[in-house]
Amino acid sequence: MSHRLVDLCPVPLTLVWHENRSTYFSARKENRHLTLRLHRLFFQAPTPVLEALIRMALKPRDPEAFAIVRKMAYLYFSQNRSPAELLTTAGSVYDLQEIYLRMKNSYFAPDYDATIGWSGRVRIGRFRFITFGTYDRHRHQIRINRLLDNAEVPLYFLEFIVYHEMLHAVCPSYIDAKGRCRVHTQEFRRKEKLFADFAAAKKWEKMSLNFFKKRRRDHGRA
């Protein structure tokens, strides 16, 4: 497959294959050299799709190429959707299902539908940033970091994280003119600010890294 894309590309090409569903295509062009990062769904793609990938990388505003690539990805993920995992919603402090239903009733349409649960066991080690939650568009599944199941974490902050992840279902990502995947769109940011305690949640988020680093140190002394 690599040689087929190289043959089709009019400029030197570097290919990187991955399994990341959320960013199945990204491109970077520097000094007439193109780097493509592609999900393995394109590994056996027919020539028209490969041509569309090249056009999309070199001419990002090509709507026909974008439509071909998007359709290929949609068909692949629809046919290869792994079953949603059974997640635990009840934590030692917070119940995610209660929070999810509260956010749904306050901010989303009645037909909004997703599953939610805590991520796997907490791993406390060295870190520079924290992923508080994730949304899997193909499983319609939200996972929240178990580090937030803590009485010292404000309820409004956990509600904000759940709301933030729920927004991903109604504000889909897109590929911009430079071939980069934009996850947090302008519409996403606008709706994010509709959360009632947005300012307080963002303020606590800025302090959260130090909070969890302190937890790691305390955990190490325990």
Domains of the chain: 2-79 (no CATH), 96-221 (3.30.2010.10)
Helix (H, G, I), strand (E, B) or coil at 93: coil
The predicted model gives 194-199 an average pLDDT of 97
Tell me the mean pLDDT in the region 141-169: 94
pLDDT of residue 222: 37
DSSP 3-state of 75: helix
Beta strands in the chain (DSSP E): 13-18, 25-30, 33-39, 115-118, 133-136, 141-144, 174-175, 181-182
* Residues 48-59, mean pLDDT to the nearest whole number: 89
pLDDT for position 163: 97
Report the alpha-carbon distance of residue 91 to residue 51 in Å, rounded: 49
**What tens digit of pLDDT does each residue of 78-89 get?**
666 555 556 889
- pTM as predicted: 0.63
Select from 206, 88, 212, 202 the least CA-distant residue to 152. Answer: 212
Cβ neighbors of 24 (< 8 A, separation 6 or more) are 38, 39, 41, 42, 73
Q: Which amino acid is at 138?
A: H
